[in-house]
Structure 1
């Protein structure tokens, strides 16, 4: 969890505690009034749990300050601008998040992306994307709207062919070997990568497993015009727009790129992975 997010959550919790004490309510009394377990009140006040917008509205009303609801919810939105949990983002399925990716890509001229364990979404075939989205919905236990989400992901790829754009992808070689779906799915996906190697708007580089690196692969991240970095974790996405954070991820990308193979060498690594599937 990001330090900025946690600090913000603690500050929001302090504001909730202030409202409760000003209303002359104990934690037990507030929990009883709202029909919550007392531990929820404690976790919200100490920043160990993120409230929902509904939680904040209920808290403000119980404290006799319903007019404070807008302020509290604005604080919550400020937190979620940076830290966006998958549980909340995918509450209605994957399509909305995929549409957000389409919009962010449209407003971006230059994307640098690194992926350590999967093919980047902008380069995925429909069938590979379908398997990824189904697995993601099962893991998060979110509603399945797979086909709508696949269509959105493929529509996002139209940006690859637009003049004036630039996309640079770093892919750790391991991602070429992670089995997503059947061998047939993987063969088609690797063929897709080869087909994009000569596109003038796209650079695909592969980091060989044995390459010496100053920075070892940790997690995937995407840099949008050096104004935004999106980092995906198991439980959330971080949307980072602070200059020092962006500079740190820029350095990570540059260091990883030092050990990457491009052109013919990248083609050879992809072809080697494909040959293993056909053996």
Structure 2
């Protein structure tokens, strides 16, 4: 099988191959000895170890077992399954416009029971008003030089947010105070968005924490990330969307979220921060 055309996916495969090679070396096995234990040819071991052939789930489990590291298999299998999806350039994702990207995640949103979201730059998508989303998405399309269907994409983004009001879903959301101050769209757009945050805070299934400018940092400001139950994390970079599925890596994001939660303010204090931001719009 040829390598993925995505350099990010290939880089992910090389990381997996490197981890498998390390396991073999730590077990003090030669490539030939490992192949014998796994019941395949030495050439196959070499292709896997040099990231020329992506291993199957069974290959990874056999490799780990042969190296006496069966406990490593779960993480490696999860990372291997999502190598192609774990790093997708925004320009590729948005090559036909952004509406489709909003709709593709609807099944994920509908099956997720606990959303943990941290945003340091913009209001989380599921809490965006249509005007705010349209202003943001049009800016993104212009920056990425991709088709601008921001109006349709914004409507789809708001539609997928029905999970906030329907079904058995809980939301724990953390926003840096800067999010309340960054001007996305007009003053009216920002006022409407911030007003909507105040309204959503009243919902029993929604917790919104604001991390003040002045908070003593336990965790430094990070890139935005979304945790979907304990099964998946989505991380938003400038150039790409990264999907994390390895349990040990998801645990790191959960640890970061827990640390950030401790420096946030909630309830009356959070509402006061949002109200101050509204009043500053003039």
TM-score range, shorter-chain basis?
0.7 to 0.9
Partner in structure 1 of residue 94 of structure 2: 90
1:81 is paired with a residue whose SS is coil
**What's the TM-score, normalizing by structure 1?**
0.73
CA contact (8 A) 1:213 1:255 kept: no
Partner in structure 1 of residue 241 of structure 2: 237
CA deviation map 1:103-135 (0-9, x unaligned) = 210111110000001111111110000011101
In structure 2, runs of 5+ residues without a counterpart are: 1-5, 18-49, 52-79
CA deviation map 1:77-124 (0-9, x unaligned) = 953211111111111010111012222101111100000011111111
CA contact (8 A) 1:9 1:79 kept: no
2:252 is paired with a residue whose SS is helix
Rounded Cα–Cα distance in structure 2 between residues aligned with 1:3 and 1:87: 14
Partner in structure 1 of residue 192 of structure 2: 188
CA deviation map 1:205-232 (0-9, x unaligned) = 1000101121111210000011000000
Matched, 1:169 2:137: no
1:141 offset after TM fit, Å?
A: 0.7
Partner in structure 2 of residue 218 of structure 1: 222
CA deviation map 1:185-223 (0-9, x unaligned) = 111111000011110111111000101121111210000
Partner in structure 2 of residue 201 of structure 1: 205
1:164 offset after TM fit, Å?
A: 2.2
- How many correspondences in the alignment? 217
1:238 offset after TM fit, Å?
A: 0.6
CA contact (8 A) 1:213 1:258 kept: no
Rounded Cα–Cα distance in structure 2 between residues aligned with 1:10 and 1:208: 37
In structure 1, runs of 5+ residues without a counterpart are: 13-45, 48-75
Call closer, same or farther: CA 1:11–1:192 in 2, change over 3 Å. Answer: closer
CA deviation map 1:126-150 (0-9, x unaligned) = 0000011101111111111122211
Rounded Cα–Cα distance in structure 2 between residues aligned with 1:224 and 1:191: 26
Partner in structure 2 of residue 273 of structure 1: 277
CA contact (8 A) 2:8 2:87 kept: no
Rounded Cα–Cα distance in structure 2 between residues aligned with 1:147 and 1:162: 24
Matched, 1:121 2:97: no
**What's the TM-score, normalizing by structure 2?**
0.72
Rounded Cα–Cα distance in structure 1 between residues aligned with 2:224 and 2:12: 24
Stretches of 4+ aligned residues off by more than 4 angstroms:
1-5, 9-12
2:105 is paired with a residue whose SS is helix
Rounded Cα–Cα distance in structure 2 between residues aligned with 1:99 and 1:234: 21
1:239 is paired with a residue whose SS is strand
Call closer, same or farther: CA 1:143–1:243 in 2, change over 3 Å. Answer: same
Rounded Cα–Cα distance in structure 1 between residues aligned with 2:268 and 2:246: 37
Rounded Cα–Cα distance in structure 2 between residues aligned with 1:151 and 1:229: 24
